[in-house]
Amino acid sequence: MKPLLLAFAAFAALGAADVTLAQTSSLRSDTELLISQIQSDKRAVVLAAMDLSDQEVAAFTPIYDEYQREMKDVYQRGTEVMNKFAANYDSMTDDAAKAITKDFFEVRDDRYDLTEKYAKKLGKVLPASDVLRWVQVENKLNALLDYEAASMVPLAPKK
Partner 1 sequence: MKLGPLLLALAVTAVPTLSLAQSGAATDEQILLSQLMTDKKAVYAKNLDLTGSEAEKFWPIYDEYEVKVKKLDDRFLSNLNTFAEKYDSLSDPDAAAVLKEKMAIEKERMALKQEYTKKVAKALPPKKALRYAQLETRIENMVRRDVYSLIPLAN
Give the footprint of partner 1 on this chain (CB under 8 A).
Answer: 49, 92, 94-95, 97-98, 100-101, 104-105, 108-109, 112, 116, 119, 123, 127-133, 135-137, 139-140, 143-144, 146-147, 150-151, 153, 155-159
Q: Considering the complex, state which of residue 58 and residue 156 has its C-beta at the smaller distance from partner 1.
A: 156
- The alpha carbon of residue 58 and the mean position of all alpha carbons in its chain are separated, in whole angstroms, by 24
Q: How far is the CB of 64 from partner 1 (least distance, A)?
A: 16
In degrees and rounded to multiples of 5, residue 151 shows phi and psi of -70, -15
Phi-psi map region of 51: left, alpha, beta (phi>0 left; psi -120 to 50 alpha): left
Contact 8, 79 (CB under 8 A): yes
Min. distance of Cβ 32 from partner 1 in angstroms?
A: 12
Smaller CB distance to partner 1: residue 44 or 156? 156
Nearest approach in angstroms of CB 54 to partner 1 is 19
CB within 8 Å of 149: residues ≥ 6 apart: 7, 10, 11
Task: Report in angstroms how near the CB of residue 71 gets to partner 1 at its nearest.
Answer: 16
The candidate with the shortest Cα–Cα distance to 123, out of 113, 133, 112, is 133
Q: Which is nearer to partner 1, 5 or 119 (CB)?
A: 119
Measured from the CB atom, the residue of 83 and 101 that comes closer to partner 1 is: 101
Q: Which of the 8 DSSP states describes residue 20?
A: -
